[in-house]
């Protein structure tokens, strides 16, 4: 699964939700990832609790923690896929952000689009935000829209003339946890003013989600996968994303910072999961 645009479209919460749904159907999923921001190289490398974000990337560590399934990283995804197959323990492998990885053609391809930003001006890099031409959407098995679908984005998709209907998903902020020890904490009182940071593909979405919960937000966005330094972070209370917390945890522990992070929850419609299982011919393995 992946996207054809630059910037965050909600791939991580989708992978987490898909793993949970497949488990509920009695299947044994695993994940392969590029490990962007890490130094593992070709791999394959199985992510462990001892790994650091600068070794394997921030998202693979987060996925391993949230899904409790094997996450294998390395730019050679085929090697990771081969290693998982050799274990003989897994029914389905999810390739995180693998839509442009032409060496491996997925049996089923899902593409995510941000419901607010859509396809931008419709042009590929560097003239626009697209990694691939819009026509790529006609080749995938399912187009998924994350967030509130704006009318202009719906019009863009109508012009593409998709072969299949798109599915709208709504990620929601869920729990608040302490960065230092990952323990669940209480959400601040509604109306509270929050300092917030986000080093994700679309930081503004995180800040808007906090505002939608009734907070006044002073947000500072960073480049996706930014490696935080102490001077990047304001003193005192701070709210961040779960991906940021993976990298900031050592600093929070060393200095006893009262930092918090918010997790996201996403629920997949049952028809979508059932359709995927049928497409992959996995019903007999349930």
Q: Give the architecture-level CATH label for domain 173-265.
A: 3-Layer(aba) Sandwich (3.40)
Domain-by-domain residue ranges, the chain?
A: 1-8+101-171+270-286, 173-265
Give the long-range contacts of residues 61-65, CB within 8 A, separation 24 or more: 61/246, 62/12, 62/242, 62/243, 62/246, 63/12, 63/15, 63/16, 63/31, 63/33, 63/96, 65/246
Mean pLDDT of the region 52-70:
94
Say what percent of the chain tops pLDDT 70: 99
Of 77, 87, 82, the closest CA to residue 40 belongs to 77
CA pair distance 178, 11, nearest whole angstrom: 23
More confident residue, 69 or 149: 69
Using DSSP's 3-state secondary structure scheme, residue 113 falls into strand
Tokens 């497409």 belong to: 279
pTM recorded for the entire structure: 0.91
pLDDT in tens, 67-83: 999 999 999 999 999 99
pLDDT at 284: 53
CA distances from 43 to 32, 63, 94, 106, 173 (A): 11, 17, 17, 20, 33
pLDDT at 159: 84
pLDDT in tens, 249-265: 999 998 889 999 999 99
For residue 230, the tally of other CB atoms under 10 A from its CB is 11
Mean pLDDT of the region 133-140:
90
Residue 114 has pLDDT above 60, yes or no: yes
């Amino acid at each position: 699964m992946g996207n054809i645009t630059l910037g965050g479209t909600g791939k991580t919460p989708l992978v987490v939700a898909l793993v949970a749904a497949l488990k509920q159907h009695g299947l044994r999923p695993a994940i392969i990832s590029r490990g962007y921001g890490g130094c593992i190289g070709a791999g394959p490398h199985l992510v462990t609790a001892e790994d650091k974000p600068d070794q394997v990337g921030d998202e693979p560590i987060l996925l391993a923690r949230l899904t409790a399934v094997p996450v294998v990283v390395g730019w050679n995804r085929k090697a990771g896929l081969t290693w998982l197959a050799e274990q003989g323990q897994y029914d389905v492998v999810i390739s995180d952000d693998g839509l442009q990885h032409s060496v491996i053609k997925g049996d089923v391809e899902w593409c995510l689009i941000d419901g607010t930003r859509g396809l931008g001006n419709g042009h590929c890099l560097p003239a626009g935000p697209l990694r691939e031409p819009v026509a790529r959407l006609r080749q995938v098995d399912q187009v998924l829209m994350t967030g509130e679908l704006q009318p202009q984005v719906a019009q863009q998709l109508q012009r593409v003339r998709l072969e299949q209907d798109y599915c709208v998903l709504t990620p929601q902020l869920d729990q608040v946890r302490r960065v230092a020890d990952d323990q669940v904490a209480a959400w601040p009182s509604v109306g509270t003013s929050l300092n917030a940071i986000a080093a994700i593909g679309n930081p503004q979405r995180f800040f808007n989600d906090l505002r939608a919960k009734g907070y006044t937000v002073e947000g500072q966005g960073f480049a996706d996968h930014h490696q935080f330094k102490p001077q990047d972070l304001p003193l005192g209370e701070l709210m961040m994303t779960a991906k940021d917390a993976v990298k900031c945890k050592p600093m929070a522990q060393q200095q006893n910072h009262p930092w918090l992070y918010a997790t996201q929850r996403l629920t997949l419609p049952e028809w979508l999961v059932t359709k995927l299982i049928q497409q992959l011919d996995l019903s007999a393995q349930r």
